[in-house]
């Protein structure tokens, strides 16, 4: 039985593509070829000639010379993307450096204002000896002395303006300590709700000397804040310079 082909099926492939929502136009096709060989992408040609990318793909996707151009364009775009990423990274680093310098400038003014305040100097000195200095995103101090940590908590609140809800506590308890009673003790002593005790770890048994020195385990009082971490480091730099002088 004879099958009657549609008009588009009877035409050559390059001609039949004209029926993809566009009547075939030899001059349009020729111009598309010319632009493609100038290393234009389908998107660029589509915008230039007012035609769909689907039609361009139908015309060119199986042609070796166009496939080679696609590879060239992909490689070029990859290089451009790498260059853009480098520029963006450089801009981000410059912005961070600028913001850091502004924070340090503010910290220097605050240091001069508070350098004679007993709580400021004491809290800063304790942090100098016991505080976290490796992590720029966190302010933390760990110790076994409840009175020392109470003073540090006051230092955090008064001079770093830390909201109480942002404070966190981590405990390292020996197995001979009662967890509930110890958590209640630290919560009352530091004025931090029990729901803000984030991590409790248990340590193996200890000597009698450790039992006398660490009645309530080891407590870490901390919060996460990059801006305040930068400030406290600048204060420490100024304090150390003042002490050396």
pLDDT of 91 reads 83
Separation CA 119–CA 92 (nearest Å): 36
Which range of residues forms the domain containing residue 230?
Answer: 101-244
pLDDT of 178 reads 87
Question: pLDDT digit string (tens) for 34-89?
Answer: 998 898 999 999 999 998 898 898 888 888 898 988 999 898 889 888 888 888 88
105 with 58, same domain: the answer is no
Residue 78 falls inside a structural domain: no
pTM, two decimals, is 0.63
110 with 229, same domain: the answer is yes
Residue 1 falls inside a structural domain: no
58 with 122, same domain: the answer is no
16 with 112, same domain: the answer is no
Separation CA 55–CA 133 (nearest Å): 61
């Amino acid at each position: 039985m004879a099958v009657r082909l549609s008009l588009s099926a009877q035409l050559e492939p390059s001609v039949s593509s004209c029926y993809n929502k566009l009547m075939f136009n030899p001059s349009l096709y020729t111009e598309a070829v010319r632009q493609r060989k100038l290393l234009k992408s389908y998107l660029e040609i589509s915008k230039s000639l007012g035609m769909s990318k689907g039609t361009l793909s139908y015309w060119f996707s199986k042609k070796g010379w166009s496939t080679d151009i696609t590879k060239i364009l992909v490689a070029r775009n990859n290089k451009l993307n790498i260059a853009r990423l480098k520029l963006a990274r450089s801009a981000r680093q410059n912005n961070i450096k600028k913001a850091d310098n502004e924070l340090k400038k503010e910290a220097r003014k605050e240091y001069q204002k508070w350098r004679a305040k007993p709580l400021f100097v004491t809290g800063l000195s304790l942090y100098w000896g016991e505080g976290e200095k490796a992590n720029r995103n966190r302010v933390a101090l760990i110790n076994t002395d409840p009175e020392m940590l109470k003073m540090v908590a006051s230092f955090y609140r008064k001079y770093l303006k830390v909201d109480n809800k942002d404070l966190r506590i981590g405990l390292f308890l020996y197995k001979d300590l009662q967890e509930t009673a110890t958590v209640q003790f630290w919560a009352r002593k530091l004025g931090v709700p029990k729901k803000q005790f984030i991590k409790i770890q248990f340590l193996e048994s200890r000597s009698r000397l450790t039992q006398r020195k660490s009645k309530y385990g080891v407590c870490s009082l901390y919060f996460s804040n990059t801006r305040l971490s930068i400030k406290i480091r600048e204060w420490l730099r100024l304090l150390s310079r003042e002490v050396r002088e």
